Structure 1
């Protein structure tokens, strides 16, 4: 079984927020990056070494991959190349990337 899947525009993904500022849709499998639309930004979430919590977000991780996320806006990474995760929460909302992207654009424009 592959740990990768193609991005599906009509698929429903679960919304997650990291550090109160990074809004994303989550997917347990890795996305084939070539299948993402141009206006989607995909990143990997690394598990902590003890496997009990999320550790950081990076453009790509090989070890301790927990899930992939899709953002409507790019994440600005510090020089170390990743963003540490201080807290996170699933919002309970499930939506397509198009609906998520529209909401994120409205928030930025407001």
Structure 2
């Protein structure tokens, strides 16, 4: 799909990624992990379980997702979410606003 969208062959696509020290699959996995990290930090998604967020971004096994997330960010998904919630609340208290304001800014 990526190759066709950019009018190059699969071989050229893989070569371009290889030149950057990446694989196509690794790059896609990294993007999906970043999307999950952003969703876990989003106060608007606080009620959505981490396994639902992982599945939304293509991780069918929560255990696999959790291992990848922990390896990449140094925290389990639930610890990361808890840390982000605590930091947002502390930032809001310092700013005199709510936790949502600290993360997303004022409206």
- Calculate the TM-score normalised by the size of structure 2: 0.26
> Which has the greater radius of gyration?
2
Query: More strand per residue: 1 or 2?
Result: 1
Query: More helix per residue: 1 or 2?
Result: 2
- Calculate the TM-score normalised by the size of structure 1: 0.25
